[in-house]
Structures are given as structure tokens and as C-alpha cells.
Structure 1
Amino acid sequence: MSAFSHAMGDSLTMLRRNLLHAKRYPNMTLSIVFMPIFMLLLFVFVFGGAIGAGLAKGDYIDYVTPGIILMTATSGSVVVAVAVAVDKTEGIINRFRTLAISPGSVMTGQVVGSVIQTMLSVALVTGFAVLIGFRPAGGPLGWLGAFGLLTLVALAVTWCSAAFGLIAKGAETASNIALPFQFLPFLGSAIVTPESMPAGMRWFAEYQPFTPIIDTLRGLLMGQPVGGGTALAAVAWCLAIAAGGYLWSRSLFHRRKDA
């Protein structure tokens, strides 16, 4: 058996372990769905009238929903951070290090399992948004592009969160470290346009990673033109975060002693 085949087999075994855990303990997975749905209801039906006052009727839900969908894709970061932290504190990570398995398979199984759960949550939240009035106008290519971008976002933040779980002292610390991934979209173009923000906040909103991602996702879902620079920046940010998270988590996993 080649090294690649061995690594793939071990990764699939770890993926199966992760999915079985998710099935047995569904609370964290359900939170990925319920929190974005709550935020969607809050911003559409409670704050939507005031925030979207300058938009035509029904336009605000079409504006805010892509941002909420993106928040769903980033919510899985907390789940994987907590799962990795629990494995570390219970000594399971150290036990895996002593086994004759591909070292990268442990984190790969965690990350891929979390991405699968996250994308299922994205589908559920999107379906709920359509039920309450979201009307995407994107065609098949737009939806395909949106799905690809959301998968890339989920993969990027999940690799970083796997590293967060490895450096955390416990599950609670891990969940707190990963929270910024959930709430950074709020400080971008998810809820309001950056143009409506004060100067300092507007500068941060325009140049933080999630704004081009949200704008690209909104354009794809709504059938609106997406600037090449915006789409390129969105993909570049995702790839940079994914690469950084992967290399960081790999380095941490190979340490023989936990800090």
C-alpha cells in the first residue's frame, strides 16, 4: 500500500469517528443551525425595518441573508475547536501520536467531518431563509460558485480552529478563541453597508477578510455582477487562512508535549 493510500484510509477512519461523535452528541451541530436562524429572524423582523429603511420592501432580507449564510459557514469553527480541545485534554491526541497511523489523518478527519456538518447546516439555513422571504436570483453557475466559496470558507476557518483547539487549555477556552470567526462578518458588509459606518469602522469593514467574501457570495446568490478584484480577494483570503491554519495545526500536532 502506498503512503498516499495509507494516509487516505486513516483519514477516512478518523472522518468516520468524527461523524459518529456528531451523531451521538448533536447539540453542538444543532447550535450551528439555530444561532444563524435566530440572527436571521432578529435582523429581518425586529431590526430590519430600521436598518433597511432606505431599501425597497423585501430588499433587506435579500441583502442580509448572504451574510447570515456566511456566518453559518463560520459557525462550525467553534465545534471543531471544542472537539479537538476535548481530545487533547482527555489524552486522545497523545494516544493517536503513538499509533502507526498517518499523522495528518487525525486533524484531516476532524476538519473534513466539521466541514460536512457545516455545509449541511448551510443548506438548512438557506432553505429556512427562502421560506421566510429570501428570493435569490442567481442561476445554476451562481449557486455552484456560492457553494464552492462557502465550502472554501468553512475549510479555511476549520483548519484555523483545529489549531485553536490544540493550543487551548480546555473546551471552554477553545470555544472562546474561535468566536471571532463567527462575529467578524458583523463588522463587515453582512448586516449593513460599510458606507453607512463611521470612518474608522468603515475602513476596518472595507479591508477585513470577510467583506469581499460576503460581497462575492451576495453577488453570486442574487445574480448580480461581482467585480473580478472582489472575487479574487475573497478566494485569496480563504486560501491564505486555510494554508496558515493547516500548517499551524500540523506543527502543533507534531509536538510531542502539550504546552
Structure 2
Amino acid sequence: MTAPHGINPNVPHSARVYDYWLGGKDNFEADRRVAEQVIEAVPGVRESARNNRAFLGRAVRHLTRLGVRQFLDLGTGIPSQGNTHEVAQAEAPESRVVYVDNDPIVMTHARALLTSTAEGRTAYIEADVRDPQSILEHPDVLATLDFTRPVAIMMVAILMHISDDDDPAGLVKAYAQALPKNGYLVVSHLTLDLVSEEMAGRYLKATRHQAMHRTPRTGEQITRYFEGFDLVEPGLVGVSEWQDAPLFPDPATWMYAGVGRKR
């Protein structure tokens, strides 16, 4: 892979590390070194990333089959196989998706890789998830999504990148307020609830690198994001347990996942 203009291939980047775990090709040697170091120290981290991706696909497929045709995907990361619009439009070609990320590295990849069916629409905006108003009022969002009809807000593996100082629960509430009744919220989030204390310590030590910084949260904290929503069965569970058997057997479960329907 040749580095696009403005991207330093010698500095590890979390989105490219994640891409490597998913089996993607949009990563460099520096990213692969960090990714392998974490894999060696933390059993199951790669499988967890892949199961998280599989959860996104299952959630989008489930919602599309319920009639949802609009998705706002926040913090999308580097596009890879099984993007939100690919899954949704495979079920319903008229589906419309807006991707949001504030990372110019991700933007470079997205411009090249994100395409839509002729019947549907896919848009990508560069914006900060921590500024809901700028996203919800963005012209490309308003031109693509109709918030008087059901919309699913996708917050898959993004809230763990937001510090407590930035009030992730408040951010979720701001986005949720824009949803009509029967809109949906899709969340997956890093947790240390489901692993041993020894394993949790190994994870925290292995991810001190700036490229891997994340904030793990408890099931109780993550459940609060669904205030005003009814959780779809089976509720908030390990990411590989949401409505299906795991695609990749998990040596350890590092993420919770859930889907809520707005009351």
C-alpha cells in the first residue's frame, strides 16, 4: 500500500490498526507492529474486532428487514468489507446512508471506496461526533436523511473513543432527540466486565500507545445510553452473542453490543 498525500505511514493510527485486525489492506508496517503487539498481549482482541464488524452487519440487516431505510453511521472508520450501506442496500437497494468521521485519513479512504446503488444514496461528511448540531444540521445529512421517518443511528465502537470529559451519554441523548418515534440506536462498546482482572490489566498495559487509546466502560454505564429506548432482544450482551452465534470464536469478550428502539 502506498501512502496517500498527507498521511505518514511511519506513525501508527488506530483506524489502520483496526483495519489490520479486520483483515484489511489499508495499513502500514507501523500499524501492523502495534496490532501484533496487542494481539500477543491480549488474546481475542482480533476476534473481538471481527465479531464487532459482524454485529454491525447483523444489526443493519435486522433493521432493514424491519423496514428501516436510513442510517447515520457515526465514526465509521476506514471503509472495509461489510459497510453499513453495503449490507443495507443488499437488502433494500433504496437505503440511504450518511457516514461521519473527523479523521482526514479515514476521509481519504472513504472518498475512494464509498459508493451507492443507483436507487439509494450514500454521503460522507467530515465532522466531529462530539458536535451533534453540526452533523444533524449539515446540508448533506439533511439532503440524504428524512428525520420524520425511521432512522438508525449507528454508534459502533465509537463511544469508547470519547472521554468522560466530553460526556458521551449527553452526546447520545442529543442524537436520540433528533430521532422520530421508532427510530433506532445501535451501540457497541469496549468493556472489561467480561474478562478476568488479570486479562483486563494486560489489555490496559498493551493499549497505552496513543494509537490504541480507548475508554472501557461497564455494562451499567453503557445501558444508560439507551434511556428512552426499548432494547431489542437479546438486550445488551457480548458482541458475539447478539442474535447469532459468533463468527469468530472469542477467547475473551471485550465488547458489549445492543440495539434500542425509541419509544
The answer to whether TM tops 0.5 is no
Higher strand share: 2
Higher helix share: 1
Identify the structure with bigger relative contact order (alpha carbons < 8 Å, sequence gap 6+).
1
